[in-house]
Structure 1
Amino acid sequence: MDLTQLPALVAYLAERHRVPGAQLVVRRGEELRTTEFGVETVGSRRAVVADSAFPLGSLTKPFTATLAMLLVADGDIDLDDTLPGLTLPGVTLRRVLAHTGGLVSSVTVDNVESGSRTRWLAVDRTANALANPPGTAFSYSNLGYLLIGHLIEEHTGMPWWEAVTDILLRPDGIRPAFVVGPADQRTDRNPITGHAVRASGGSPLPIADQPLPLVEEPAGALALSAADLVAFASAHLPGAHSPIGERTARWMREDQTEGLRVGPFGMADGWSLGWSIYSRGGHTWYGHDGTGGGTSCHLRFHPDSATAIGFTANANTGLAMWEELVEELRKAGLDVGSHSYSTLPDPGAPVPAPPECLGRYVNGDTEFVLDTAADGELRLCVGGAPYARLTCYDGLLFTMREIDGGGMVHTGRFVPGEDSETVVALQISGRLARRHG
């Protein structure tokens, strides 16, 4: 692939998806190409530059995972000990890093929440913490990474943001920004603004604040550039001179979901101790994705070829831009490992919705109800409000188009019971919701 063509490609795709600003960094061996496009905020003249810090959303999680694994490597933590905070049998660091701990997806924020994970966990939350038996299925969990952040704070004596800065990022030359946190962690580097792009048209709308409760910092508070993402991935590559070390980096890439009946469908082919795993053309790639309030950030790396790709965008349409960018890179010879969140591979023709899928599904405090709309289409309601229309395919697979929010499309599936005759769960974006009637 001719990397000199990247600026034109990024500009074309950003304009096509109405993304105000984006960054792309590609490393192949010793070759490094960086591209910036557009502005940090619609209506401003602040151009996106190499140092612009984009809110990472869930792409914060591999940083928290790596920090935890450094403590494991030093002998401070055992991967298979039960996590403190929620003393639930089987909820170990190993499983929580790989989203197989059975924990619910979302964090319940109440009037106890002050940003202190210790204070938040002082309230007994065990009753509603599990969505599945630990170690039996993949189910993506933000709560798990709150617990890992608490574990890090207990063992380092530092707040999470300070530990991730001083122990992990600063030694590799990365100067972070944060979307939430106390005043003493702020620097002269500020997160840029996200944007909401409406399907109906009009200018993208700036989103002033990121919708992240302070207690969830370890799951989504970092803001970095695409260059920072590639620098972080490079520290995980063989031969890197980094505090992470080759042994820990290799350990972190071991798949923890092999043999599970329910894996990370729609997100990846497997999941390791912090990284998603992608199989592509006989090669294995690693990475993670993150969406914030009007931002979309993505990281991929291939250890065998010392290849790393970092992408950031400041619009909710950045995910669609990323998926098209991946396809263009593949056409040009860079066969990136990734999964589409919006399309199913070779789904065939739509089929009628299986009647056994209708009903109520629950993951923690989140309730999904599948019913039939007045026009006969299958409808998904979340929290009592209509959320998406579903199109079903063979194999209990479906795509769903959001009713609001720009009409974005996501993939999902119904999970059959062991008898294959009944539907026992619903899986969307890696979250597993069990049937409750």
Structure 2
Amino acid sequence: MLHRGEKIMVQTGVEHADRPWPMRATGPVPIGSITKVATATVVLALAADDDLDLDEPAGEVLGVPGLSDQLTARRLLSHTSGLPSDPADVTGSCLRQVRDAEPVCPPGTSFSYSNVGYALVGLLIEAVTGMTWREAVEAILLRPLEIEPVYVGDAAAVTGHSHSGRPVEQVLPPMLEPAGALALSAADLVELGRVHLGKPGLLDVVTAADMHRRVPLAEPYGLADGWGLGLAHFGDEHDDWLGHDGTADGTSCHLRIDQAGECVVAFTANGVGGAELWRAVADELRDLGLTLPHQRFREPGARSVPMPSGDFGTYRNGAVDYTIRPDGRGACLVVDGEVFPELTRYDDATFTVRDPATGRAAPCGRFRGTPGAATAVEIGGRLARRR
């Protein structure tokens, strides 16, 4: 943590369950989607140098036909491109995936979290710089911050672990490296966060303000309270923190940035239970006076209501189907064959399911449309339209 110039670092546990090595302050943990903050920061640095226009169609930047003129770096970075979450074929061409994808919404009209979008951002970086994504993120961002680059799959990366403590192998298709390939320590994340406190040298004031400004219609239900160009917003205009969360295979990582309070909080855990530990740490920090916003999933006073039969059905995002169907206890959610039981709907259109790990009701998603005639659901920030 960095608080008004003072750094505080705490580490506990081991880097590998089967080896007695204590977790180092410099231990690089696969940070999953926080990689997107690095990718987005590189794009904004290129924009600051007038090497990339955030509003130029991606197809024109890449010099390839067949991409929608509405696909721009600005929309890709803010997850308002309308692209699905993940590629249907991780071994195929990214451009083909984008061309062939069925949009979840028209570009610029709604938020829907997209790893495919960030894969395309990686291609924009490569086209503009003439470097690979790895070379660009190292040269433009990591090396200037004195961060040693480590990637998923490198021997130096800390191992993720399952609930049972079993080591988990990291699996990330090369196409999605710009969306999730970095392995960084909490200290590294603090340095990345400092860029967005105004550390000189990378982003000018105007470009940084553009990156940090909330994007209209980017309402990331289930993830945050708003979204900018690569950074999420937590809280409201009176207490607004920037940041991002990331999960890789067996890891859970979190970054929060309070520009007004000159504070960066970074947390990396090499176990799937890290999210619960993060919530406990955040509560402790609140008790100490930090104003870390709580994440809201339901309106205060929302009440459970019977599931309207018209809301049962299958909703699709790319190649992923979300099926809501009746079961012996009322309703359940089925995602690619995995059943999440005890789906409970509330009168604010949100719903919960039972978490198989804890047995407790866990926030899951939100219906769109009128009760009994839902047109879509939002789950984990992904918009899925009724089939």
TM range (shorter): over 0.9
Contact 2:311–2:372 (CA<8 Å) still a contact in 1? no
- Residues 1:400 and 2:364 aligned together: no
Who is 2:89 aligned against? 109
Please state whether the residue corresponding to 2:343 is helix, strand or coil: strand
Matches within 5 A, 1:219-368: 219-238=179-198, 240-256=199-215, 258=216, 260=217, 263-279=219-235, 282-339=238-295, 344=298, 346-368=300-322
The structure-2 alpha-carbon separation of the partners of 1:422 and 1:206, relative to structure 1 and needing over 3 Å to count, comes to same
| CA deviation map 1:18-65 (0-9, x unaligned) | xxxxxxxx2111111100001011131111011100100011001000
- Which deviates further from its counterpart, 349-358 or 87-96? 349-358
- Which deviates further from its counterpart, 38-47 or 221-230? 38-47
Contact 2:244–2:256 (CA<8 Å) still a contact in 1? yes
The amino acid that maps onto 1:299 is L
Please state whether the residue corresponding to 1:277 is helix, strand or coil: strand
- Residues 1:137 and 2:110 aligned together: yes
Contact 2:299–2:348 (CA<8 Å) still a contact in 1? no
Who is 1:191 aligned against? 157
Contact 2:44–2:207 (CA<8 Å) still a contact in 1? yes
Distance in 2 (alpha carbons) for counterparts of 1:58 and 1:253: 18
Who is 1:390 aligned against? 343
The structure-2 alpha-carbon separation of the partners of 1:371 and 1:277, relative to structure 1 and needing over 3 Å to count, comes to same
- Residues 1:159 and 2:159 aligned together: no
Distance in 1 (alpha carbons) for counterparts of 2:144 and 2:78: 26
Matches within 5 A, 1:116-135: 120-121=93-94, 123=96, 125-135=98-108
- The offset of 1:162, in angstroms, is 1.1
Matches within 5 A, 1:2-151: 26-84=1-59, 87-112=67-92, 120-121=93-94, 123=96, 125-151=98-124
Consecutive unaligned residues of structure 1, counting only runs of 5 or more, are 1-25, 113-119, 181-185, 198-202
Contact 1:237–1:246 (CA<8 Å) still a contact in 2? no
Who is 1:16 aligned against? none
Distance in 2 (alpha carbons) for counterparts of 1:333 and 1:291: 27
| CA deviation map 1:87-118 (0-9, x unaligned) | 11311111111001111011223554xxxxxx
- The offset of 1:385, in angstroms, is 3.9
**Equivalent position to 1:376, from 318, 329, 334:** 329
RMSD, matched Cα: 2.1
- The offset of 1:406, in angstroms, is 6.0
- The offset of 1:411, in angstroms, is 2.6
**Equivalent position to 1:210, from 170, 191, 208:** 170
The amino acid that maps onto 1:233 is G
The amino acid that maps onto 2:159 is T
Corresponding pairs, count: 381
The amino acid that maps onto 1:227 is A
- The offset of 1:378, in angstroms, is 0.9
Contact 1:255–1:277 (CA<8 Å) still a contact in 2? yes
**Equivalent position to 2:373, from 422, 432, 435:** 422
Please state whether the residue corresponding to 2:291 is helix, strand or coil: coil
The amino acid that maps onto 1:423 is A
Distance in 1 (alpha carbons) for counterparts of 2:138 and 2:102: 29
Contact 2:325–2:333 (CA<8 Å) still a contact in 1? yes
Please state whether the residue corresponding to 2:322 is helix, strand or coil: strand
Contact 1:104–1:131 (CA<8 Å) still a contact in 2? yes
Who is 1:431 aligned against? 382
- Name segments (4+ residues, structure 1) moved above 6 Å: none
The amino acid that maps onto 1:401 is R
